Structure 1
Amino acid sequence: MTLIAEAQPDVVLMDISMPVMSGFEATERLRAKQPNVRVLILSMHESREYILKLIQCGAAGYVLKDVSSDELITAIKTVYSGATYFSAGASQPLFSQTDFLTPALASEPKEALTCREQEVLRLLAQGASNKATARQLDISVRTVETHRQNIKTKLDIQTAAGLARYAIEHNLID
Structure 2
Amino acid sequence: MTVLHEDDLHPPSGAPARVLLIDDHALVRDGMRMHLSLQPDLEVVGEADDGEGALAWLANAAPGNLPELVITDIGMRGMGGIALAGALHDRYPELAVLIVSMHDNLEYVRQAIRAGARGYVLKDAPADELMAAIQAVLAGRVFYSARIARGMAEHAVSPLDALTPRERDILQGIGKGMANKEIAAQLGVSVRTVETHRLNLKRKLAIEGRAGLVKYAVQQVGDGGDTKPSA
- TM-score normalised according to structure 1 size: 0.55
1:14 counterpart = 2:72: yes
Instruction: Between the two structures, name the one with larger relative contact order (CA 8 Å, sep ≥ 6).
Output: 1
1:78-117 CA-partner distances (Å, limit 9, x unpaired): 11111111111211221223xx155776xxxxxx999xxx
Distance in 1 (CA, whole Å) between partners of 2:158 and 2:92 is: 31
Matches within 5 A, 1:115-134: none
Q: Is residue 55 from structure 1 mapped to residue 120 from structure 2 by the alignment?
A: no
Out of 51, 54, 57, the position equivalent to 1:3 is 57
Q: Which 5+ residue runs of structure 2 have no aligned equivalent?
A: 1-54, 167-230
Between the two proteins, the alignment pairs up a number of residues equal to 107
- Provide the rounded CA distance (Å) in 2 between the counterparts of 1:104 and 1:45: 23
Q: 1:30 aligns with which of 71, 81, 88?
A: 88
**CA 1:78–1:113 in 2, change beyond 3 Å: closer, same or farther?**
closer
Cα distance in 1 for residues equivalent to 2:160 and 2:68: 28
Moved over 6 A (4+): none
Match of 1:86 in 2: 144
> For residues 46-104 of structure 1, what are the alpha-carbon distances to aligned partners after superposition, in whole Å with 9 as ceiling and x for unaligned?
1111111111100101111111222211111111111111111211221223xx15577
What is the alpha-carbon distance in structure 1 between the residues aligned to residue 75 and residue 103 of structure 2? 10
For the structure 1 residues 55 and 3, does the alpha-carbon distance in structure 2 shift closer, same or farther, using more than 3 Å as the test?
same
- Determine the structure 2 residue equivalent to 1:138: none
Q: Is the 8 A contact 1:16 1:22 kept in 2?
A: yes
1:24 partner letter: I
| Identical positions, percent | 35
Describe the SS at the equivalent of 1:9: coil
Distance in structure 2 (CA, Å) of the matches to 1:54 and 1:67? 18
Corresponding residue number in structure 2 for 1:64: 122
Q: What are the ranges of 5 or more consecutive residues in structure 1 without an aligned counterpart?
A: 106-111, 115-169
**Does structure 2 conserve the Cα–Cα contact (< 8 Å) formed by 1:24 and 1:54?**
yes
Kindly provide the CA deviation profile for residues 16-47 of structure 1, in whole angstroms up to 9, marking residues without a partner as x: 10111121111101111111100001011111
Q: Assess, with a 3 A threshold, how the Cα gap between structure 1 residues 101 and 82 changes in structure 2: closer, same or farther.
A: closer
CA distance in 1, matches of 2:116, 2:157: 21
- One-letter identity of the residue aligned with 1:2: A
Separation in 2, partners of 1:71, 1:65: 10
Q: Give the corresponding residue for 2:103.
A: 45
| Secondary structure in 1 matching 2:136 | helix
| Matched letter for residue 44 of structure 1 | M
